[in-house]
Amino acid sequence: MQVTYWLEHAWLDPEVEPGVAVEVADDGRIAAVRKGVDAPPPGAVVLRGFTVPGLANAHSHAFHRALRSTVQVGSGTFWTWRETMYEVASRLTPDTYHALARAVYAEMALAGITAVGEFHYVHHAPGGAPYDDPNAMGEALIAAAAEAGIRITLLDTAYLSSGFGAAPDRHQLRFSDGTAEAWGARCSALKDREHARIGAAIHSVRAVPARELGTVAQWAEARRAPLHVHLSEQTAENDACLDAYGLTPTQLLSEHGVLGPRTTGVHNTHLTDGDISLLGSTGTGTCMCPTTERDLADGIGPALALQRAGSPLSLGSDSHAVIDILEEARAMELDERLRTRTRGHWTAAALLRAATADGQAALGWADAGRIEVGALADLTTIALDSVRTAGPAPRLAAETAVFAASSADVRHVVVGGRQVVRDGSHALIPDVASELTAAIATLRS
């Protein structure tokens, strides 16, 4: 059904424009964009506030949402946090994962996210036995996204080792296909659909032996699919990689053909100057996840240096300590300010670009992330009259969105021309909070 949306204020990169009419065709794409439309045309759906292209969450582990707050008790490290994460993973089934992911993706929709990159590695039953459908867990995630009304790139993840060739431990058995070849055979049965695209992931250099890296990279290359990898998140991993191979993780990935413009390194926190140069010169992307990186005390990655070297930036909520891509964008700039003690490393427009067009491209949705003819009609509207956003002139709406707004200020969300969030309420799932409560309680019982 064709529909016209009237945007009170819109971000037509890099400008904020008042009064924009967006016509959506039957195929869910933008058919026309008209500026200078002072009042809503007859029959148009009115989106009051500041409308940007749909936000992209380029890195998610949906089941980590069940850890929120419980892992904030006491102290510890990434490695102690990981043990708690394993316990939650051990309780997942296709049905319980579907229920949890549906609620998590609905929470994302309420936060203005129209596409998620799900870094998915819980493939099999506990103990490692495949389900009758070997992709039952991945299909549960794809179905959950459809029911929550958002797009998904399922980054099916190769996870073969507990560390540099060692066998998987008892928790990791359900993550492993044994070999990269077996991983490829299984995930080749997954198919793209209207709201879902299939990509690949290498969990990390510790979890995929060097001899297997090329197989995963070749699988992604043959399909021209996105390829993501956790990269240099921890100094301990860097040290172990140097001991095992005499190379940094980035150098190892480069030697085995993993780097390139369809590849995204997630975190990219502890890099050498040579690593930064390699990532930039190959056009390999960087997905920063500041709320998780600070929650796990991982460190502040060299995002500015990476971008200057040629690495496109995207953003993800990763462990879902919070789900708020506006906060991720703000945190990337503010963390850099703390590190350098200078201000203004990115403009608000550049940060919005990382949250929209560049994030969508990292997930294989290069036809999203822009309000222009031919693009997917994915829109997120942020209130300009909340207690956080009231006051600034509308021409400063981009600065207001990035530096003052939060996910609580998302008012409307449109995906493929269909309104998924209206006036802050989910149109498909009436009580998202109750669904989250029930799904997480099931995993604790």
The residues, any chain, with a CB within 8 Å of residue 363's CB and separated by 6 or more, are 56, 58, 115, 116, 117, 153, 197, 199, 226
Q: What is the largest CA-CA distance in the chain?
A: 68
**Six token digits for residue 17:** 């424009």
- Identify residue 164 by its one-letter amino acid code: F
Q: How many residues does the chain have?
A: 445
Contact of 209 with 202, CB cutoff 8 Å: no
Burial per residue of 150-170, b for 16 or more beta-carbon CB atoms within 10 angstroms, e otherwise:
bbbbbbbbbbbbbbbeeebee
Rounded to whole angstroms, the Cα distance separating 136 from 133 reads 5
- Identify residue 154 by its one-letter amino acid code: L
Contact of 118 with 142, CB cutoff 8 Å: no
Rounded to whole angstroms, the Cα distance separating 15 from 293 reads 31
The residues, any chain, with a CB within 8 Å of residue 361's CB and separated by 6 or more, are 312, 314, 369
Residue in 275, 318, 335, 409 annotated catalytic: 318
Rounded to whole angstroms, the Cα distance separating 257 from 71 reads 37
Rounded to whole angstroms, the Cα distance separating 386 from 388 reads 5
Residue in 256, 267, 345, 412 annotated catalytic: 267
Rounded to whole angstroms, the Cα distance separating 407 from 79 reads 29
Rounded to whole angstroms, the Cα distance separating 380 from 410 reads 7
Phi, psi dihedrals of residue 183, rounded to the nearest 5°: -55, -50
Determine whether 367 is an active site residue.
Answer: no
Residue entry with tokens 């493939």: 123
Determine whether 267 is an active site residue.
Answer: yes
Neighbours of 305 (CB within 10 A): 17
Active site residues: 267, 318
